[in-house]
Structure 1
Amino acid sequence: MKTPPDPHHRHRFPAELISHAVWLYHVFSLSFRHVELLLAERGVIVSYESIRRWRLKFGSHFAGRIRRRRPRPGDKWHLDEVFIRIQGELRYVWRAVDQNGVVLDILVQSRRDCTAAKRFFKRLLKGLSYTPRIVVTDKLRSYGVARRELLPDAEHRERRYLNNRAENSHRPTRRRERHMQRFKSMRQAQRFLSAHAFISGHFRPRRHLMTAGRYRAVRAKAFKIWTQGIPPLKAAWA
């Protein structure tokens, strides 16, 4: 079997350093210049523009690897949509999480009608060997139409306050949107939010529900998954 090409090939900096820069940007509310400064303190001289290109090239790659390694999502899905402004126009971020708060997927769309809801449901179901038992949404009618057509056997709940889990999941998006001074295009928003949701969420388990020992074990496992597949560091940067 032919080995897939190394995406880090012909980069001046080693893969582990690139991975660390992308990790800093997505896990913490840092700008590219902040990441540049943190690396400079460790003796790594790299331009913030290079960090921006690393994020564009490798962010989705790292997020996809995390997504493939995650356990099977829960059978109770919480769906919600929130508006954002891109170039002065309203756009909608559709988000789905399971009962444990794990992000299932994100889709940026220009509408929130039945067609948009069906598109999001199809994206969620793509490649899955199971269907959810319960779907929790707000009272947007588009969800009901899509659910009846694509998930006829799932129970649909849409009572007030029942969907707080999905609504709270939007908060990191709002913080980063303000920090980035809004998104510049739907494509940029989709690329960033898809990667950010999986990378950031991977390192943010529900700490308040765990003992200290359990939290450390989950954190160690998260770091292990993150570093798998990254070639060993070949240049010292202590």
Structure 2
Amino acid sequence: MKRAAAQQNAPAIDTISYAGYRFPPDVISYAAWLYYRFPLSLRMVEQLLAARGIELTYETVRRWSVKSGLGIARLIRSTALGRGDKWHLDEVVVTINGKKHWLWRAVDQHGAVLDLLVQNRSDGHAARRLMRKLLKKHGRAPRVLITDKLKSYAAANRDLGINVEHRQHRGLNNRAENSHQPTRVREKVMRRFKSARHLQRFASIHDQVGNLFMHCRYHTNAQQKRALRAQAFETWESVTGTAMLERLAA
């Protein structure tokens, strides 16, 4: 509830531009919300919109999602409160066009995704790239770093001069490992990712949208859940500059 109150007092932010579109902004933002919030294919989103009398093609949904998604993710990140000081790092293999890639992801102790990076290796160089990106974006080192027993993390810390408590135990890193599950679900729905760039772009947007709505699910009673969900919708509307279609219909 403290997070919700702080978000209510957050300053006004820039919104996404919808200049040049034939459809109204609320339809565009609603399509992007459906695509990034739920495990739906582009064709499923097309059918859901058709059920509401909005006739368009799945290719239109794809273009909307690509063009507005990164801006939405950036604005969601800018409105978020400060993330936790305990970082969980993990990497998972993703096969793209028969070639192995590694999706490196960092989450805090609350389950919010801090950042991710798709790379074609899982060595110390890759771990250093991830840590540099995290340090640059958050401007500080974590209080505690939790990883599995991959030696690349310790090597990256030494090279970058990071001297923090580093816990290396697979059983302690379930939070980071579980953060990969939504990506696996989307991988099946989308019939695999087309390229490393596609995975990087999609996961970067998908994770930030997930961060916005993640507090609506667990460890809350019904009243708290409704309040957190309402606050998440208000933040989404502030970021996109539109009202949710469901609210317009009501």
Q: TM-score range by the shorter chain?
A: over 0.9
Instruction: Name 1:160's counterpart in structure 2.
Output: 170
Cα 1:59–1:230, aligned 2, differ >3 Å: closer, same or farther? closer
Cα 1:151–1:105, aligned 2, differ >3 Å: closer, same or farther? farther
Instruction: Name 1:224's counterpart in structure 2.
Output: 234
Return the TM-score normalized by structure 1.
Answer: 0.92
Alignment check: 8 A CA contact 1:131 1:151 kept: no
Alignment check: 8 A CA contact 1:76 1:136 kept: yes
Output one character per residue of 1:130-180: Cα deviation in whole Å (capped at 9) or x when no partner. 321000000111000112233523110012301011001110011111111
2:98 is aligned with 1:88: yes
2:198 is aligned with 1:188: yes
| 1:1-238 correspondence runs (5 A) | 7-150=17-160, 152-205=162-215, 207-232=217-242
Which ranges of structure 1 fall in alignment gaps of 5 or more residues? none
Bigger proportion of residues as helix: 2
In structure 2, distance between residues paired with 1:193 and 1:5: 21
Structure 1 residue 216 displacement after superposition: 1.4
Q: Secondary structure at the match of 2:166?
A: strand
In structure 2, distance between residues paired with 1:6 and 1:74: 28
Q: Secondary structure at the match of 2:33?
A: helix
Structure 1 residue 129 displacement after superposition: 3.4
Runs of 4+ in 1 over 4 A off after TM superposition: 235-238
Cα 1:160–1:200, aligned 2, differ >3 Å: closer, same or farther? closer
Alignment check: 8 A CA contact 2:113 2:211 kept: yes
Q: Secondary structure at the match of 1:44?
A: coil
Structure 1 residue 232 displacement after superposition: 4.8
Alignment check: 8 A CA contact 2:16 2:71 kept: no
